[in-house]
Amino acid sequence: MSTGKTNLTSTQFAAKKLLGKAHTSNLKSDVNESIPSNVSIPSQGVFAEAIPNDPGTDFFTMYSASDGGPATVEQVYFDIVSLSDSIYDANDSGGGGDEASGDGPHGYYLKLPSNYQTTSSNPQRGTGSFTNGKRIYDSRGGLQLVPPLVSNASPNRYFMKLYKGDPTNPANEITSGDSIDWQVDYFAGTIFIQDYDASKIPVTASAYLYVGKFLDEKLVDISSSAGGGSDIIVKDEGSNITTAATSFDFVGSGVTATNSGNDVTVTIGGGISYSRRAVTATITSSVNDAILGVSGTAAIDIRLPSAGDFDAGQYFTVKDESGAADSKNITILASGSQTIDGRSSIVLESPYAAVNIYSDGSSKFFIY
């Protein structure tokens, strides 16, 4: 039967872990360990809001770090329950005691009182882990005591206090320097007593409970305030282009976008600019041509793409910019058997003539 880990193994493992190293050999010091290690902390258990340096002292009352800031701590009376598997005599071999002692529990856990939901000012009471009788260690970080390291105030109010009876009676306090030599795990909500004394069994603890937002909740808030909390639907003429837009890009010489914090203002100039294509010889035009400006030294044909390549109602303009269409006609030809106002082609034959044409999106063009 195994005799368990030696003190050397346990000490080396813990020390190397705190120094960011994995423990692979009792013969290696921490500087000789090559494999890195660390302590994993999920975002659901990381404090994400400011904690007051010197909170108030009223029980079941919440306090914030600044005026108008979110309340993040609440002073609470916790019930203390002994752990039945921690009973032993600390004077026995391996017990680690240094005072006269007898058999008794050395481990204890904290839980919210049975009337927490009716006495607390916490708006979260009755939800999640903030329920009557909830054990701190059962919450997996959802309930955490605020440790003294967050404050440099004197006195530091975040040090836990233990009581062997009615906590309103100062005579019942078991001070931190008492001979039972107790210590607390603020994350797990557990208490260890080195030297059990039947006359000093803790039944109540006072400490501050963190009631602010954790990192995972804060990240959701940040994402929501930045526009990432919900999908944005973008439509063109009532038809969805995308149902989950992540960014917008405003383009065009007449469009400007400015911001003040998270507020964005888009300004569209009074004039509208269209793309212009200079034409000096016969071409096949493109659906992207908005204006065809013709200046030729001879007659010019402009062959149109299929009307089906255009959106229904999409239009374009053909303009004689040189004023020579009377001698250098500009002929606009529909594709294949398609028509322009019922004809296969039309001709611009007067100086500076122009025509606006739109497509039905299928097989025909029309002049307007």
Quick one: pLDDT at residue 272? 65
> How do beta strands 87-88 and 104-105 pair?
antiparallel
More confident residue, 229 or 343: 343
What fold characterizes domain 276-367? Jelly Rolls (2.60.120)
Backbone angles phi, psi at 118, to 5 degrees: -100, -15
CA proximity to 345, closest of 330, 357, 333: 333
> How do beta strands 315-320 and 107-111 pair?
unpaired
Whether the per-residue pLDDT at 45 is higher than 70: the answer is yes
Pairwise CA distance, residues 279 & 330, whole Å: 11
Structure tokens at 135: 């054990």
At 1, the pLDDT band (50, 70, 90 cuts) reads: very low
Domain ranges of the chain: 1-39, 43-215, 232-270, 276-367
pTM value surpassing 0.75: no
Half-sphere exposure of 14 (CA within 13 A, CB side): 7
Cis peptide before 167 (omega within 30 of 0): no
213-272, pLDDT tens digit by residue?
999 888 887 776 665 555 677 777 777 777 777 777 777 666 778 877 777 787 776 666
Quick one: what percent of the chain has pLDDT higher than 90? 64
Quick one: pLDDT at residue 261? 75
Which has the minimum average pLDDT: 68-77, 91-100, 155-164, 206-215?
A: 91-100
Structure tokens at 205: 């603890």
Q: How far is CA 244 from the centre of its chain?
A: 17
Pairwise CA distance, residues 207 & 290, whole Å: 73
Structure tokens at 181: 């030599």
Q: Are 196 and 181 in contact (CB under 8 A)?
A: no
